[in-house]
Amino acid sequence: MENLIQESVSLASQTSYKVGGDAQWYAAPRNWDELEASFEWYQRQDVPLTLLGAGSNLLISDRGIPGFVLSTRYFRSYEFDAETGLLTADAGEAIAKLAWKAAKRGLKGLEWAVGIPGTVGGGVVMNAGAHASCMADILVSATVLSPDGKIEEVKPEELAYSYRTSNLQGGNVMVVKATMQLEPGYSKNEIMELSNQNWTQRKTSQPYHLPSCGSVFRNPKPYAAGRLIEQLGLKGYKIGDAQIAHRHANFILNCGTATAKDIFELIRYAQGKVEYHCSISLEPEVKLIGEF
């Protein structure tokens, strides 16, 4: 237990932005016993709880996170049922990895996720999606853990899914497992071809060469956030070492030594410019954690 709960752990390496301060207290359980032990420890403390997955859609303050940070990054296992098409996976499994494994089994329904840099848990919480498909389309159920230690199964209709959001966002309910319905009966070559097409499209249209969180803003339909920012001539604009990407203006890159403050200020700068010139309020897709 003393090795499971750690104090003053740097979180920068655990986010795709490679920025952020320390967790006051931190645990990354690898199995159910360690998860339960972590929760039992938390319940004896009078501190806030923050849940952390792959850190791919987060911006953590340079000041760090007070309280207890519980990570699911090592909580991994998965099982495919080739006959029914059901896929059950722990929260810490990478969505992209599962998408490729599904394609190799001729299972259709997850090929949109080949370039998604997140985990199953995060995908369920934020309704991850791409190529006109999303988690809400395939989710059968999710197993969640409440701060009081209660474990229950929830159905997608209980999650109030909409574009890149659900009612799990902003809460302390932890997704520990999810079951997804894929379509069996397709050829491996057919699904692999679709997956490769999606991956090629993402690689050519989005910057993967430097740390980022993926798309920074939700698209204010019918508009595209990246197009609005691009039209204002903001591609390449920098604050510190944070830069609006040349390849796709809805990406902000860490060009080497950016701080969370740099990235946060650039987010606010882009929001302000779009609000002033277009009278459109851009809502961040990236989740901000800590004080800015």
Using the CB atoms, write b or e for 144-173: b if 16+ within 10 Å. Answer: bbebeeeeeebebeebebeebbbebeeeeb
Tell the residue number behind the tokens 């919480």, with chain if given. Answer: 125
Q: How far is CA 10 from the centre of its chain?
A: 19
Strand order in the sheet with 22-27: 6-10, 22-27, 65-71, 49-52
Minimal CA–CA distance to 286: which of 261, 251, 262, 243?
251
Active-site pick, 164, 166, 195, 212: 164
For residue 210, give the amino acid letter.
L
- 95-104 and 188-205 helices cross at what angle (nearest 10)? 150
Catalytic residue, candidates 16, 166, 195, 215: 215
Is residue 152 annotated as part of the catalytic site, yes or no?
no
The yes-or-no answer on residue 164 being catalytic is: yes
Which residue reads 């998604």 in tokens? 116
Q: Of the candidates 29, 199, 239, which has an alpha carbon nearest to the alpha carbon of residue 112?
A: 199
* Backbone angles phi and psi of 50, in degrees to 5: -125, 130
Catalytic site residues?
Answer: 164, 215, 285
